[in-house]
């Protein structure tokens, strides 16, 4: 694996040529602040990036209005739905849905069996989420926000505290942080498999062109 950063990473999102991530850094004065980084996978180097570029890739074109309405635009998960609405999920289970123009359309708790859902990822007319405390992933209808399919459950061995997921070429990649494994669900058969295993917690998996990037406890890496 090739190390990109072993800093204190708070979030990471992909873009067309690479990975954008946010680090907490400490200045010489002792003051802590956020730093926005960009690693270009085609050039294999860091390029300058603004907070706005990070927010654009996370929240879509209405990022300015959306980020202004959030208490924390870094420590949350987001996905742009097919009709350009944006769903934002906070760690405490609070959900905000914004119109394509960035206006708040709905706000409340979004849960499955009273457990918080995380990591929305759009796929066609649906979006998928993880339910860490349920050991499950759930597919929702993007229009109605109603549950369509659930895979796994609290007693199942399919997943163990899945924290994030991503979808590439009709395969759902699920990061099971506590056991350091990427599990898979192949669509449309919904068969569960295992993709990769690590000796430490894994937080996110990305596929960007021909590159694969993982965010592990020790840092951000190219596989």
Ordered by start, the domain boundaries in the chain are: 60-222
Reported pTM = 0.94
Instruction: Tell whether the model's pLDDT for residue 2 goes beyond 90.
Output: yes
Q: Given a cut of 90, is residue 105 above it in pLDDT?
A: yes
* pLDDT value of position 110: 87
pLDDT exceeds cutoff 90 at 51: yes
Do 162 and 174 meet the contact criterion of CB atoms below 8 Å apart? yes
Can you give the pLDDT at residue 133? Answer: 93
Q: What is the pLDDT of residue 117?
A: 94
Distance in angstroms (rounded) separating the CA atoms of residues 15 and 68: 22
The mean of the pLDDT values for the chain is 94
| CA separation for the pair 109, 115 (Å, rounded) | 10
Q: Name the residue with tokens 């395969």.
A: 171
Phi-psi region of 180 (alpha: psi -120 to 50; beta: other; left: phi over 0): left
Please, where are the H alpha helices in the chain?
51-59, 63-69
- Domain 60-222: top CATH class: mainly beta
User: Could you tell me what percent of the chain has a pLDDT over 70?
Assistant: 100
């Amino acid at each position: 694996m090739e190390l990109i950063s072993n800093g204190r990473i708070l979030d990471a999102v992909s873009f067309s040529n690479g990975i954008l991530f946010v680090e907490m850094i400490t200045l010489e004065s002792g003051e802590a602040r956020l730093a926005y980084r960009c690693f270009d996978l085609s050039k294999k180097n860091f390029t300058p990036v603004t907070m706005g570029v990070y927010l654009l890739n996370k929240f879509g074109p209405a990022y300015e209005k959306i980020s202004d309405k959030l208490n924390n635009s870094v420590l949350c998960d987001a996905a742009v739905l097919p009709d350009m609405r944006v769903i934002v999920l906070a760690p405490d289970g609070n959900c905000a849905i914004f119109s394509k123009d960035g206006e708040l359309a709905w706000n409340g708790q979004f849960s499955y069996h009273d457990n918080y859902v995380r990591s929305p990822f759009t796929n066609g007319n649906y979006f998928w989420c993880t339910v860490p405390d349920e050991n499950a992933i759930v597919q929702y209808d993007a229009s109605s926000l109603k549950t369509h399919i659930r895979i796994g459950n609290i007693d199942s061995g399919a997943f163990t505290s899945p924290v994030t997921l991503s979808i590439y070429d009709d395969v759902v990649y699920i990061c099971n942080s506590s056991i350091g494994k990427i599990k898979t669900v192949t669509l449309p058969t919904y068969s569960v498999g295992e993709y990769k295993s690590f000796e430490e917690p894994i937080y996110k998996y990305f596929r960007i062109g021909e590159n694969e990037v993982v965010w592990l406890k020790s840092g951000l890496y190219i596989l």
